[in-house]
Amino acid sequence: MKVKPFNAILITSMRKFLSALLAALMLLSVTACAAHEPVLPPSRWGEMQIRSMFERYYSISDAFQAADAVARVTVGDWQGEDLHNWVTFFDADVQESYKGDLPRHFTLVQGGCSEASSPNYPLFINGTELLVFLKDYDGSGEKYHPITDYNTVLYAVYDENGHRYFLDSFGTMSAQDTLTPGRTTLDSTQLAEMTADTDPVLAEAISSQAKDCDGSCCAYAESALEDYFSDLAKQ
């Protein structure tokens, strides 16, 4: 009978141990991911509905120039709210940066909270995808808010071919100029189709806001905006 050398036995044992350790770590990782439940705001709407007044409104180009950072982001977990200033804090991750030195992971500050929010502007939830024009909220470089709240927040929506568009649901940016490339008008049917995979609360809010704008909304093709942002950054 052949007897394996001690070194061979040791190597075989180490391989088995490392394989078992790797499998355990992978299982732990999968379990941890599966166990994470999104942290949602206590309510999508405030107890009061308020209409904000703004000193000015921005076109796409004006907002780009005025912003500290411009990016496509995905909203993460709800962090909490400031009931004194009526704002809510969310984790956010940068998917694409167009301007500024925004941290890959930062705190997004949304106007509105469980006490008060704006009509047709529900609080974000985990997974909401946005194009935002941001200002540093408190000088920390970690918290950012849209320049004029919902007026400079565009929702990411997709057509049947998977092409991404940014929806100006309130129409305030698109109302400032008609020259921004990639602009298109979506009627109520197109809106319904492109927001079908959006969370139901947001889809209903977009539809409701569109009814105040003759049933349509303006949206911008991502590919055209990216080229436009590149040109603006050179100015």
45-59 confidence digits (pLDDT tens): 999 999 888 889 999
The predicted pLDDT at position 54 comes to 85
Give the separation between CA 72 and CA 229, rounded to whole angstroms: 12
The predicted pLDDT at position 9 comes to 47
The share of the chain scoring above pLDDT 90, in percent, equals: 72
CA-to-CA separations, 109 to 36, 99, 132, 163, in angstroms, rounded: 23, 18, 11, 28
The predicted pLDDT at position 10 comes to 46
Reply yes or no on whether the pLDDT at 93 is more than 70. Answer: yes
Reply yes or no on whether the pLDDT at 13 is more than 90. Answer: no
Whole-model pTM: value is 0.84
Local confidence band at 30 (pLDDT 50, 70, 90 cut-offs): very low
The predicted pLDDT at position 88 comes to 98
Local confidence band at 19 (pLDDT 50, 70, 90 cut-offs): low
| Strand bridging mode 164-168 / 153-158 | antiparallel
The predicted pLDDT at position 6 comes to 47
Give the separation between CA 49 and CA 154, rounded to whole angstroms: 21
Q: Among 10-14, 96-100, 106-110, 217-221, whose mean pLDDT is lowest?
A: 10-14
Closest CA to 186 of 207, 161, 162: 207
Give the separation between CA 165 and CA 200, rounded to whole angstroms: 19
